Structure 1
Amino acid sequence: MKDNNYYGTFIEVAEDCPVAAAEIPKAKGDAKTVPVMQYELIANHPYRYTQEDVLFEVFAVRGEVPESERSASRETFFSKGQPCLRASSLGKRYGWGIHHDAEGKMALYALESAEYQAFLRDETVKKVKAMRSKRV
């Protein structure tokens, strides 16, 4: 199975991100949205989960995959291509940079934070931008 994680990489916010300071995604009614679930997993557990962990956990919770079927379901889930977190609203709409450490574990950094700026200056960290919301 292909490894879909980033290592030693910082995902910057998209060039067309509409906010100047990071915002916490909000649920719509009673249902948690994908950005809310992604935010909660990463923000509440910095450097605990990889991109694959977060993508699958959100899929499993939303699809109500029973715990007993998660292992097989995860293999099936990643057998097809999945959008990475560069396509997430966290970086496209809400102003969150995502740092992946050497082990692929992630943490969020607000666009306006000193830590975010430090990652931009750090030449040892690979940088990629979140995908734009609109085509150019």
Structure 2
Amino acid sequence: MKDMNYYNTFIQVAEDCPASAAIIRKAKGESKTIPVIQYEMISNHPYQYTQEDVLFEVFAARNHISENDRVSAREKFFSKGQPCLRTSSLGKRYGWGIHHNAQGKVAIYAVESDDYIKIMNDKGITQVKAMRSKRA
């Protein structure tokens, strides 16, 4: 299986991100949206999960995959290409930058924060932008 994680990389907010300050989405009703699950998972556990962990856990939660079935489901999930966190609404719409450390573990930073600016200006970290929502 191919490694889909980024290492020592910062995903800046998209050029067309409408948020000038980070927005914290809340769940509406019983089912959580993808950005809510991603936000809760990463913000509550900074640098604990890789991009692959986050992508799969969102899929597993939304598809009610039991703990017993997760190993085989994860293999099947990654057997075909999956969009990376550059496509996440966190960076596209809600103003969150996603930092991947040297081990590939992720944390999020609000676009208006000093930490976001510090990571964005760090020449030792690969800088990429979240995907645009609209074509240029």
Give the aligned length.
Answer: 136
Deviation at 1:66, TM superposition (A): 1.2
| DSSP-derived class of the 2:10 partner | strand
Q: Does 1:5 align with 2:5?
A: yes
TM-score normalised over the length of structure 2: 0.98
Q: Name the structure 2 match of 1:45.
A: 45
Structure 1: which 5+ residue stretches go unaligned? none
Deviation at 1:30, TM superposition (A): 2.5
Deviation at 1:27, TM superposition (A): 1.8
- Structure 1: distance between partners of 2:109 and 2:19: 14
- Structure 1: distance between partners of 2:57 and 2:29: 21
Deviation at 1:26, TM superposition (A): 2.2
- Structure 1: distance between partners of 2:11 and 2:41: 17
Deviation at 1:124, TM superposition (A): 0.2
Deviation at 1:31, TM superposition (A): 1.6
Structure 2: which 5+ residue stretches go unaligned? none
Q: Name the structure 2 match of 1:117.
A: 117
Q: Name the structure 1 match of 2:107.
A: 107
Q: 1:47 is matched by which residue type in structure 2?
A: Y
TM-score normalised over the length of structure 1: 0.98
